[in-house]
Chains A and B, each alone.
Chain A
Amino acid sequence: GAGVSQSPSNKVTEKGKDVELRCDPISGHTALYWYRQSLGQGLEFLIYFQGNSAPDKSGLPSDRFSAERTGGSVSTLTIQRTQQEDSAVYLCASSLLYVGEQYFGPGTRLTVT
C-alpha cells in the first residue's frame, strides 16, 4: 500500500516568508508526527497528533511554528517569518494509535536564503 507522502520534496524560500509543508499519512493511521532533521541538531521531535486528542506541541521551537491536521488525515506544518536556522529536512511519520512503530515519509528539504 501507499506509504507516507510529503510535499513539496524541496522548498527554497526567502528569509521572512511563510511556508507550508504537507503530509499525507498512511491510510488508517490515526497518529501523525512531525520531526526536523538538521546538521547541528540531529532528529528532533516537533509535534504529534493522536486521534481526536489535543496535539502534543512540546517540541515546537518557537511560536512561528504551527501545525494542523484536518479531518484526522492530512497535516500541514506552517512556519511563519522563516529564518535561516529553519533550514532543515522536515519529516512526517504516522502510526497506529498507541503503537510505537512509526513510518516515515521522504521528507521536505527546506532551504531559507
Chain B
Amino acid sequence: AQSVTQLDSHVSVSEGTPVLLRCNYSSSYSPSLFWYVQHPNKGLQLLLKYTSAATLVKGINGFEAEFKKSETSFHLTKPSAHMSDAAEYFCVVDDNAGGTSYGKLTFGQGTILTVHP
C-alpha cells in the first residue's frame, strides 16, 4: 500500500525568500513521485516528477525536489518565492512494479502556500 504525508497544511513565506514544502511517502514498490500545483479555481498542473532516474528533479517555474530513499522524503523547494507561486501543492505517489504504473495516484492532503509581498 502507498501513502503520502505532507507535513505542513499551510506555509507562509515572503516574496523573494526560499520555499520548502515537505513530503514523506510510503510505498511497497519503487514509486514514481510527483508534485502537482492547483491555483484557485484551476485544474491540477504537474510541476515535476521522479521516476527512478536522477534523484534531484527540476520542474517548471524554478521548483525542484530531491528524492531521498533513506528518508522516504520528496521535499519541494524553490530558492526565491514569487507572488504567483501562491497556490495549493500536492505531493503524489504512484506505486510501480517493474516500472509499470498502477495508475492509482495517491495524493497528500495538500499544502497551501501563501506568499507575502
List residues of chain A with CB under 8 Å of any chain B CB. 4, 31, 33, 35, 42-45, 48, 50, 56, 58-59, 91, 93, 95, 98-107
Contact = CB atoms under 8 A, between A and B. Distances in A.
B96 interface: yes
Contacts of B99: 98
Nearest to A33: B103
A77 to B, nearest CB: 16
Given A48-B103, A91-B43, A91-B44, 6 more contacts: A43-B107, A43-B110, A45-B106, A100-B105, A102-B46, A104-B44
Contacts of B34: 100-101
Give the contact-size bracket for chain B: 20 to 34
Interface string B44-64: 111001010000000000000
B24 interface: no
B104 A45 contact: yes
A98 B101 contact: yes
Interface in B4-57: 32, 34, 36, 42-46, 49, 51
A107 B43 contact: yes
A99 B101 contact: yes
A3 to B, nearest CB: 8
A50 B103 CA distance: 8
Contacts, number: 56
B3 interface: no
A42 B104 contact: no
A43 B90 contact: yes
Contacts of B107: 35, 42-44
A104 B104 contact: no
Interface string B77-104: 0000000000000100010100111011
B46 A103 contact: yes
Contacts of B32: 100
Contacts of B45: 104
A11 B46 CA distance: 26
Given A50-B103, A56-B103, A100 B49 contact: yes
A67 to B, nearest CB: 14
A37 B99 CA distance: 27
